[in-house]
């Protein structure tokens, strides 16, 4: 290519890049991608080894819209009836296509902006770990690949719907990746691996970021070659395109094969060990609050979480009037799913069975009344979600303080294993302690927090209270099933002066936390009317709850 031709291509590419970056599809894709990223990350703990991949997933939207924008730009001359004029210029169709291909770089600033804003937001949230540059570059390549594919489509199909159709085809893999097992999903443009936020640290090769970025680069090369082959009539270019196409295809095959390689046994073994044998993998510190010793065990990367975990627990302990004999342990646990074949593909079923057995014996899977297991990757970074999580942790600590179980273990079969502190004053005391410890605003506590449902306890229908965050998965398994009676009594207690309630509890703590102390006794001692649960139907009628099938035990110890 002569100097003049090269400069023409560069000048055109510059204009196309500016047009693309300001095009409606790209700008709307930028906004929607930003929203998508926020939606898929705001609920979770910002862990860089998970979120850098989620950033790429969020960029799928802009990849699609860049595809549409690039197709529209490439087919512009034909669609607008200027093809004949353009053919009369010394700049050939092939050169124009090359300019469009280079012009796809105009979408790169939007992709980089998304990465930058997301990284900044995660940094502000105190993201743990460090981002992987290769993964972030992979996300940008995903956007560019969409653009180059758009150019290839536009080179052949000028109709504006061709780009939209192409985007659907490009989108299809994203929506279908969960249908495939093993390492196949890695070959798709981008997927969102479920296990990333269950890992206590970055696991090399999961996902295979470098090979995937190179796969996307190979797709860029191949789509570019297709676009140029469609539009370049010159025979002398054919050889170059053939070589580039062969190189791109070879790159695609090699990178796909690399991504299909199993993760080394020793790497998974180490992760399983860290999840199953938390004592050896975590850093534990013991802190004292109001005479109580609490052991906090966190994975090395999560050390900065300690203050936010300590605060609600210390709040409960500062209100607990007596010294408790059995210490409390707050520990992180991993919800690693060894059944996920993207993690274990290529390994024998015996090996997977062995890993499963080790994970089943993890401490979090065993019932306990002195340990709370915080799921890693679930602790919210701030806002309302964190205040809910703090309440839930405080409730766990309070349940420990009143002698209720703190960890019931995973359910066996379909029935929940949670016991129900039916008509036990200690339940209301625990809820009251958690509310006071976290300074939960009365309005929030009394508002639409949690929900009522009906459970069967010893064959009797009981209205139970699902507290805020109970189903958010902050903890490996919950403590007892709280009842609506206990919640309403605690709610009434929050209206009383704290000193008055504490005074009553301190005077006879052991009696009040006994399973035999009833809600009515506590209400009477506090001089309040015991609130009654009334279930009201949609037309205002009072509903008598019916016991559902199955039965949960009462908390007796």
Partner 1 sequence: MGELIVNGSTSARDEAAVRVGGLSRRYGEIRALDAVDLTLDRGITGLLGPNGAGKTTLLSILATVNEPDAGDIKIFGLNPKIHAERVQIRRQLGFLPQELGYHRHFTVAGFLDYVAILKEIVDRRRRAEEVARVLATVGMEGFGRRRIRTLSGGFRQRLAIAQSLLGSPELLVLDEPTAGLDTEQRLRFRELLSNLPGDPVIVLSTHQADDIAAICPRVVVVLDGRIAFAGTPTALADTAAGHVWTATQRDERAHMSWRDGDNQWRHIGDLPPTGSVTATPTVEDGYLLLSHAGGKR
Query: How far, in Å, CA of 379 to CA of 400, rounded?
Result: 20
Q: Which is nearer to partner 1, 7 or 283 (CB)?
A: 7
Q: Which is nearer to partner 1, 169 or 234 (CB)?
A: 234
The minimum distance between CB 538 and partner 1, in angstroms, equals 53
Among residues 1, 35, 39, 85, the one that binds partner 1 under rule CB under 8 A = 85
Q: Applying CB under 8 A, does 28 fall inside the site for partner 1? A: no
Q: Applying CB under 8 A, does 5 fall inside the site for partner 1? A: yes
- 384 by Cβ neighbours in 10 Å (0-12 / 13-18 / 19+) ranks as exposed
Among residues 1, 35, 82, 415, the one that binds partner 1 under rule CB under 8 A = 82
Segment (H or E) for 329: strand 328-333
The minimum distance between CB 77 and partner 1, in angstroms, equals 8
How many residues does this entry show for the chain?
557
Q: Applying CB under 8 A, does 86 fall inside the site for partner 1? A: yes
Among residues 4, 133, 322, 415, the one that binds partner 1 under rule CB under 8 A = 4
Query: How far, in Å, CA of 267 to CA of 129, rounded?
Result: 18
The minimum distance between CB 85 and partner 1, in angstroms, equals 5
Q: What is the crossing angle of helices 160-176 and 133-156, to 10°?
A: 140
Among 11-19, 285-293, 346-354, 458-466, which window interacts with partner 1 (CB under 8 A)?
Answer: 11-19
Write the interaction track for partner 1 spanning residues 232-261; mark x where CB under 8 A is met and - where it is not: --x---------------------------
Q: Applying CB under 8 A, does 80 fall inside the site for partner 1? A: yes
The minimum distance between CB 1 and partner 1, in angstroms, equals 12
The minimum distance between CB 76 and partner 1, in angstroms, equals 6
Size of the site for partner 1 (CB under 8 A): 22
Among residues 1, 39, 87, 439, the one that binds partner 1 under rule CB under 8 A = 87
Among 88-96, 205-213, 272-280, 458-466, which window interacts with partner 1 (CB under 8 A)?
Answer: 88-96
Reduced to 3 states, what is the DSSP secondary structure of residue 384? helix
What is the separation of C-alpha 367 from the centre of its chain, rounded to a whole number of angstroms? 26
**Beta partners for residue 453, in sequence order:** 464
The minimum distance between CB 106 and partner 1, in angstroms, equals 15
Query: How far, in Å, CA of 375 to CA of 309, rounded?
Result: 12
Q: Which is nearer to partner 1, 99 or 114 (CB)?
A: 99
Letter string b/e over residues 462-490, b meaning 16 or more CB atoms within 10 A of that residue's CB:
bbbbbbbbbeeebbbbbbbbbbbbbbbbb
Query: How far, in Å, CA of 481 to CA of 91, rounded?
Result: 75
**DSSP per-residue string spanning 73-85:** HHTHHHHTT-HHH
Write the interaction track for partner 1 spanning residues 50-79; mark x where CB under 8 A is met and - where it is not: --------------------------x---
Parallel/antiparallel/unpaired status of strands 535-536 and 542-543: antiparallel
Write the interaction track for partner 1 spanning residues 179-218; mark x where CB under 8 A is met and - where it is not: ----------------------------------------
The minimum distance between CB 228 and partner 1, in angstroms, equals 16
Parallel/antiparallel/unpaired status of strands 283-289 and 292-298: antiparallel
Q: Applying CB under 8 A, does 88 fall inside the site for partner 1? A: yes
Question: By CB under 8 A, what part of segment 308-367 binds partner 1?
Answer: none
321 to each of 15, 56, 404, 433, how far by Cα in Å?
A: 73, 51, 16, 11
Closest by Cα among 495, 483, 391 to 438: 391
The minimum distance between CB 95 and partner 1, in angstroms, equals 9
Instruction: Using CB under 8 A, list all residues that contact partner 1.
Output: 4-5, 7-8, 11-12, 15, 76, 80-82, 84-92, 96, 234
């Amino acid at each position: 290519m002569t100097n003049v031709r090269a400069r023409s291509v560069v000048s055109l590419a510059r204009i196309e890049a500016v047009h693309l970056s300001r095009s409606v599809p790209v700008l709307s894709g930028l906004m929607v991608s930003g929203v998508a990223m926020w939606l898929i990350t705001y609920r979770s703990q910002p862990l860089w080894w998970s979120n850098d991949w989620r950033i790429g997933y969020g960029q799928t939207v802009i990849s699609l819209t860049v595809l549409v924008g690039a197709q529209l730009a490439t087919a512009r001359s034909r669609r607008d009836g200027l093809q004949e004029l353009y053919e009369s210029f010394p700049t050939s169709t092939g050169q124009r296509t090359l300019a469009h291909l280079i012009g796809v770089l105009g979408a790169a600033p939007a992709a980089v902006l998304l990465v930058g804003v997301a990284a900044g937001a995660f940094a502000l949230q105190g993201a743990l770990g460090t981002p992987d540059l290769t993964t972030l570059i992979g996300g940008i390549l995903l956007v560019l690949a969409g653009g180059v594919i758009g150019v290839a489509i536009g080179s052949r199909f000028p109709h504006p719907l061709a780009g939209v159709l192409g985007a659907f085809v490009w989108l299809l893999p994203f929506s279908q990746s969960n249908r495939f097992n093993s390492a196949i999903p890695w070959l798709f443009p981008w997927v969102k691996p479920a296990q990333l936020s269950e890992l206590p640290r970055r696991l090399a090769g999961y996902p295979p970021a470098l090979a995937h970025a190179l796969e996307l680069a190979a797709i860029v090369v191949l789509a570019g070659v297709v676009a140029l082959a469609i539009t370049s009539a010159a025979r002398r270019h054919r050889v170059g395109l053939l070589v580039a196409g062969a190189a791109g295809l070879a790159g695609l095959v090699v990178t796909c094969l690399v991504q299909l390689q199993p993760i080394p046994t020793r790497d998974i073994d180490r992760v399983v060990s860290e999840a199953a044998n938390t004592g050896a993998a975590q850093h534990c510190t013991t802190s004292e609050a109001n005479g109580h010793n609490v052991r906090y065990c966190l994975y090395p990367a999560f050390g900065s979480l300690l203050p936010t975990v300590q605060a609600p627990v210390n709040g409960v302990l500062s209100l607990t009037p007596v010294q408790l004999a059995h210490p409390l342990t707050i520990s992180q646990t991993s919800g690693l799913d060894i059944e996920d074949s993207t993690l274990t593909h290529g390994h024998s079923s015996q090996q997977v069975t062995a890993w499963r057995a080790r994970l089943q014996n993890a401490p979090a899977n065993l019932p306990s009344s002195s340990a709370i297991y915080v799921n890693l990757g679930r602790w919210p970074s701030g806002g309302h979600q964190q205040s809910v999580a703090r309440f839930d942790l405080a409730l766990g600590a309070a349940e420990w303080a009143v002698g209720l179980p703190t960890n019931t273990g995973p359910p066996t079969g379909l029935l929940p294993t949670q016991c129900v502190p039916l008509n036990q004053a200690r339940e209301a005391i625990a809820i009251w302690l958690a509310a006071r410890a976290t300074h939960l605003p009365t309005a929030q506590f009394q508002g639409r927090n949690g929900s009522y449902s009906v459970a069967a306890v010893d064959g009797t229908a009981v209205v139970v209270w699902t507290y805020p965050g109970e189903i958010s998965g902050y903890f490996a398994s919950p403590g007892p099933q709280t009842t609506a009676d206990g919640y309403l009594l605690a709610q009434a207690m929050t209206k009383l002066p704290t000193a008055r309630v504490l005074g009553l509890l301190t005077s006879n703590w052991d009696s009040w936390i006994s399973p035999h102390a009833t809600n009515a006794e506590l209400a009477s001692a506090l001089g309040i009317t015991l609130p009654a649960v009334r279930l009201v139907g949609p037309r205002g009628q009072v509903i008598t709850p019916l016991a559902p099938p199955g039965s949960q035990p009462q908390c007796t110890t």
